[in-house]
Each structure stands twice: as structure tokens, then as C-alpha cells.
Amino acid sequence: MRKLLAFLGAVLVLCAAGCSYYDPVHPDTKSNRKLFTSLTGVKADKSIREVYVYADEFPYLDAHYCLAFKATPEAVARIVKKKQLEKKDREKDELLWEPGCSPHPSRSWWNAEERNKSDLYHKDDEKHREFYSLWHDPKTGKCQILAFYP
């Protein structure tokens, strides 16, 4: 019985470690802005606002992050440069416009229609196991990021 309880306890600890403390409902929480800075390498200063985050993390397995925010053109350029992203062509790279988080009422900010109106900057870094997409609508300043670490 003790072994079973120890096993169940270990499973609970692993599950809790995979849970996220980011807030997909409220923008600009301290943890959301901290993750933004961590994933982009760009400080979440006043040029970045309304940062929403959904994180699917589990230790030792794949993790993916979906972020939505508004940014100035200069802030987007800093992210593109820092992450070494390449602008993609809608016709040649059509499949890249569709990835993302599963639709959910708490993630109305993760909007496929918004991505369809946006420019896409992307990189696949298989060596470092990072797949990174940034959609940016230059008219509205709305952005979405999908970062995937398999």
C-alpha cells in the first residue's frame, strides 16, 4: 500500500510540475510578461501590451506556447532580429498559417482569422529543437506567437 501511495504521489508531483501558472484569460500579468521576455529575448516594455499566454508544458516532453499581444512595428522588428526569423510567403508556405492552440473559450485571443490577415515570420531550428512562428498584422499591431519545443 505504501508503494502505491508513493507512486501516486510521484505522479501528482509530475502532473503539477507540468501545469502552467500563466493566465490565458487576463492580459499583462507578471508571469505572462515574464514568459514573453523569456520566449522572445525582447523586454516586455511599453511597446508591448495586452500579452495573453497559453502554455502547454510537461517535464521532459514537448512544450508549446501560444502568445497574443499588440506591439509597435519597432518591437516586432526587434523580435524578428533577436529570434532570427524569416518572412514567409503565403502561397509557398501555406501550412504555416494554420498551426496553433486548440480553440477554447478562454483563448478567444488565439484567432485564426487574425493570422490570415498577418505577415508570418518563422524558423525551424531542428538542431536546438525549436519551431517558432510570429504573425504580425501591420495595420492593427496585433501579433501571435507559437513556440514549440518538441
**How far does CA 27 lie from the centroid of its chain?**
14
Calculate mean pLDDT across residues 115-129: 83
Strand partners for 136: 119, 143
pTM: 0.79
69, three cell numbers = 499581444
Predicted confidence (pLDDT) per residue in 79-91, tens digit: 999 999 999 887 7
